[in-house]
Structure 1
Amino acid sequence: MLNIHIGYLTAILIIFSILSLWFASKTKTLEGFFGGQSSKGIQPNILTLTFSQVTTWIFARSLLNTVTLGYLFGIAGVIAYSAYYGSFLTGWLIVNKLRQQHGVPNIQTFIYEQFGRTGTVCYNLLISLRLLTEVFANLLVIGIIFGTVGSPSYISSIIIVTAVTLFYSMNGGLRASLKTDIFQTIIIIVSISTLFIAMMIHPMFNFHSILNSSSDFNNPGWILLIVAFLQVLSYPMHDPVMMDRGFIADIKTTKKSFLYAFILSFILIFCFGLLGVFSKTVSNENISVLAALQELLGTPMMFIVAITLIVSAASTMDSTFSSASKLIVIDILKNKASISKGRLAMLFFAIAGLILVLFGNNDLYDAVAISGTISLTLTPVIIFNLLGQRRVASWSFIANFIVSVAGAILYFLEKSGHVKIIGMIFGEVHNYNKLLIITLFIIISGLVFFILGLKRK
């Protein structure tokens, strides 16, 4: 919990809610609700699409992750987490290949053409899990800002944010999400820039200490960087929010939006993560990163941190709801699409996310690791089917999906201490070493499955 008066936090929430409801507008067409077009059928422009990409990836969970990694592992942790934003570059590679060479309107069509109905079911399960973890993880951050786990302020803040974002998302769909993303991104840019400047002019700031905060080669942050490089190819393909935005504008606009979003997002997430590194180099106490920042920057700056986290959480929530509605109505049900069905899908994901955060596991990082590890299912798909344009047997994809799910579950069990299979084989190692071992195993086994399943040209 941030050490800020609950009344101030509530004021932030109220102001944000009013702004979001004012910017969002009701959408009456399927093209607007699911495709983001204006009432006149105009596609999103470059600014809208870029800012929407940025705010959907600079979310509360990512901000809390990068500042925590900076605090725990120094600049190596920040570099490692920032490396995941290379997903915008690999994401554009995937989108461009899908649209230009394969001529498909979405990933589901491509997966169906390659692996049939079973493959599509596996893929939809994967991205459904991704969407669910987005709702869960961002709501969890909101709750942490307002109070201790289970407290009245914790629960009420989660419910309020869910209700507000769900209301205007159900009202306007993807079009409303795109419109609100503009002002939300501006707030995030201004907030992070202010915090970065405050850190730079702080009398205790030392650039040399920042650079030398991860001098040990065995630092877990460097291990995570290797994992990031291994996962960054498949990571964007399992993110329906990013992929949805790859199909709603012309090729030229889409390409620029991915490139600009990469540059802007990388800078923002890296700068915010440096706040954690700064805290690590100065604080000698065994306290949380937010508590350390509170001591260094004071309440006014932590007020800005709260604004950043609240806005980023809500901005991701509305994008998640719009992608969830498209997934269920357009990509899965396909026929007889309607806005009412899209709204029901949003409601389902909102309720499921609330149940997880209020009654489930409150570990923020477990949700991240599970979906990211399962995304390795798609690595050989991108290499063989998308880039290599080869046909592979369906069993190869399904087998790799099963191995990826098993790997994600194993990492969860290893991290939580329920099993020590990796420890028995490799000895006691850090969790990120375990993640690297599992990642390598999944990638290698996936490549073997696909080589064995290759069909003749």
Structure 2
Amino acid sequence: MTFEGFAPWAVLATACIVTWAATPRRVTSPQFFDGRSSDGALPGLWLVAVSAAITWIFAKSIANAADLAYAFGITGGLGYTIYYLSFIVGGVAIYFLRTRGHYRSLTHFLVEKYGMLCARLFLLTIGFRLFNEVWSNTKVMALFFGAEGSPAYWLATIAVTLFTLSYAWTGGMRASLLTDRIQAILAFVLLGVVLTVLFPGLSAKGVPEVPIDLRQGGITFCLLALVQVLSYPFHDPVLTDRAFLSPPRDMLKSFILAALISGGFIFLFSFIGLYARAHGLPANPSVSVPAAFGLLMMLVFNGIMLLSGSSTIDSTFTSVAKLAARDWRNDTREPAARHLTAGRIAVLAVAVIGNLPLLTIYLGDKVGPAIIAATTISGTMVMGLAPIFLLAWIKPASRLSFHLAFWPGLAFGVVRTVEVFLKIHIFPEAIAIGFGKYAVDLGVNVWGLLICTAGYLIGAALARKRQCACAATS
């Protein structure tokens, strides 16, 4: 093996050693699920903020931000940054759920207001989201070791998965919080190195101009992100699980900080895409830019991807453990040893199943998941969650409201998923809003959200009418 081939593995080994040093070797059930310290203390404001921020700086998000800036100019990077307003939307909504209803999880709230069936439908949906997080982040990291489908690519896939599995299995949420802190510091240091190298070249060329059709396409993507951010945070337990770790007021402050930290990181990283466009480099700037600067820059990028990707995957494993061991049965009791066993079995299962979509490369170029699809498509499928959580203060709204909001959104999302993955057209062109490749997505999300919200309100109106009729006859 040449030095160039060996170097990325050395970076991976270094990241593993540093991360493992911050990982607790043994934890109790409350530490595993709630992230408490060895003396039972709740996680602090800054620990939650930094952890939430780095877990949302996905490896795929970093690649997407650079790709979008390359494709659409600065509006592309801005569009992906808008998704980080999810911390604000989710934080405010959950703050009121916790302070007014004293709920201990989103599942607890859903069971109390809409019933167990509705809660489990929600859990199945976020299970799909967690499934997406595994393969999409693993794929981005593995591509730094070799071409897709190569022996080095598959070896990296296995190595990254086994490493994150090892400490997520051992320490759960506590390990995730502590390793996130180290990973965040290192990721920002490496980003600083990258920007220091690139800014002189970008300043000399200036922010690249893009044709008007691409600018309009970038604005369309920005609008898509603004629509999806109303529902997006609620289907990501990596985010919402952390909203129940600390007192409500501290949580809200942590989430505002996390929005600034992670959103700032993503926007700054999108400048890599601008640099690639300004200098005429090939597409996939998170690979082409470091390749233009040589091995050392490639290793820095590799380090950023490994740190961000592993922080997301270990948090995904932790959320899967909580979903399977506690949320599925709406178990709000203190975590016990039985929860720990069930959670660890679920983590092992998703580590294997979550990477199976990577095998679709052997099906040919007519089918297979693109990395950006893990964001835009899963965001479309859950558009009905916006009224379910944001309009929860409407008292008559109950099971009927949930179903009239949830199912239309899921139907729109499934159809759009079939379109994207099989590369066929089902929605009519008339549904599109805006310009470019995301015009159909924006149209589907706008019209779909209006239908979901109308369904939710109709359900509440029918429930109120039924209540009034019962009161009149009693």
Shift of 1:271: 0.4
Q: Deviations over 1:212-261 (max 9, x none)?
A: 44755752211011011111121111110111111111223212211111
Mapped to 1, the partners of 2:3 and 2:451 lie a distance apart of: 49
Other-structure match for 1:369: 376
Q: Comparing 47-56 with 63-72, which one deviates more in the overlay?
A: 47-56
Other-structure match for 1:306: 302
Other-structure match for 1:357: 358
Secondary structure at the aligned position of 1:90 is classed as helix
Q: Deviations over 1:175-207 (max 9, x none)?
A: 0111111110001111112111212123x5347
Shift of 1:109: 1.3
CA 7–44 in structure 1, closer or farther in 2 if over 3 Å, else same: same
Mapped to 2, the partners of 1:53 and 1:4 lie a distance apart of: 36
Mapped to 2, the partners of 1:426 and 1:58 lie a distance apart of: 32
Mapped to 2, the partners of 1:21 and 1:329 lie a distance apart of: 25
Aligned pair 1:409/2:407, yes or no? Answer: no
- State, as a whole percentage, how many aligned pairs show the same letter: 29
Equivalent pair of 2:432/2:442 in contact (CA under 8 Å): no
What is the Cα-based RMSD across aligned positions, in Å?
2.2
Mapped to 1, the partners of 2:294 and 2:428 lie a distance apart of: 42
CA 181–383 in structure 1, closer or farther in 2 if over 3 Å, else same: closer
Q: How does 1:249-328 map to 2 (within 5 A)?
A: 249-283=246-280, 286-294=282-290, 296-328=292-324
CA 263–4 in structure 1, closer or farther in 2 if over 3 Å, else same: farther
Equivalent pair of 1:224/1:436 in contact (CA under 8 Å): yes
Q: Comparing 235-244 with 3-12, which one deviates more in the overlay?
A: 3-12
CA 291–47 in structure 1, closer or farther in 2 if over 3 Å, else same: closer
Shift of 1:32: 0.3
1:391 counterpart (393, 396, 402): 396
Shift of 1:107: 0.5
CA 184–218 in structure 1, closer or farther in 2 if over 3 Å, else same: closer
Mapped to 2, the partners of 1:393 and 1:185 lie a distance apart of: 41
CA 214–40 in structure 1, closer or farther in 2 if over 3 Å, else same: farther
Shift of 1:413: 3.1
CA 378–224 in structure 1, closer or farther in 2 if over 3 Å, else same: same
Mapped to 1, the partners of 2:4 and 2:417 lie a distance apart of: 35
User: What letter matches 1:246 in structure 2?
Assistant: A
Mapped to 2, the partners of 1:129 and 1:430 lie a distance apart of: 28
Mapped to 1, the partners of 2:158 and 2:193 lie a distance apart of: 29
Aligned pair 1:332/2:314, yes or no? Answer: no
CA 217–307 in structure 1, closer or farther in 2 if over 3 Å, else same: closer
Mapped to 1, the partners of 2:314 and 2:81 lie a distance apart of: 23
Mapped to 2, the partners of 1:253 and 1:393 lie a distance apart of: 30
CA 274–4 in structure 1, closer or farther in 2 if over 3 Å, else same: farther
Shift of 1:47: 2.4
Equivalent pair of 2:220/2:439 in contact (CA under 8 Å): yes
Shift of 1:414: 2.9
Q: How does 1:15-26 map to 2 (within 5 A)?
A: 15-26=14-25
CA 145–4 in structure 1, closer or farther in 2 if over 3 Å, else same: farther
Mapped to 1, the partners of 2:222 and 2:299 lie a distance apart of: 31
CA 145–102 in structure 1, closer or farther in 2 if over 3 Å, else same: same
Mapped to 2, the partners of 1:45 and 1:214 lie a distance apart of: 47
Shift of 1:415: 3.0
Q: Deviations over 1:320-342 (max 9, x none)?
A: 11111011111113557431111
User: What letter matches 2:326 in structure 1?
Assistant: I
Q: Deviations over 1:120-147 (max 9, x none)?
A: 1110011101111111111111221111
Equivalent pair of 2:220/2:436 in contact (CA under 8 Å): no
Mapped to 2, the partners of 1:197 and 1:389 lie a distance apart of: 51
Residue segments in structure 2 that go unaligned for 5+ positions in a row: 362-367, 468-474
Other-structure match for 2:442: 436
Q: Comparing 406-415 with 289-298, which one deviates more in the overlay?
A: 289-298
Equivalent pair of 1:188/1:312 in contact (CA under 8 Å): yes
Mapped to 2, the partners of 1:357 and 1:4 lie a distance apart of: 28
Secondary structure at the aligned position of 1:453 is classed as helix
User: What letter matches 2:310 in structure 1?
Assistant: A
User: What letter matches 2:342 in structure 1?
Assistant: K
Mapped to 2, the partners of 1:85 and 1:267 lie a distance apart of: 9
TM-score for the superposition, normalised by structure 2: 0.89
Equivalent pair of 1:415/1:431 in contact (CA under 8 Å): no
Q: How does 1:80-95 map to 2 (within 5 A)?
A: 80-95=79-94
1:205 counterpart (178, 197, 203): 203
Q: How does 1:23-422 map to 2 (within 5 A)?
A: 23-202=22-201, 205-206=203-204, 208-210=206-208, 212-213=209-210, 219-283=216-280, 286-294=282-290, 296-334=292-330, 337-359=338-360, 361-385=368-392, 388-416=393-421, 418-422=423-427
TM-score for the superposition, normalised by structure 1: 0.93
Secondary structure at the aligned position of 1:338 is classed as helix
User: What letter matches 1:238 in structure 2?
Assistant: H
CA 253–435 in structure 1, closer or farther in 2 if over 3 Å, else same: same
Shift of 1:298: 3.5
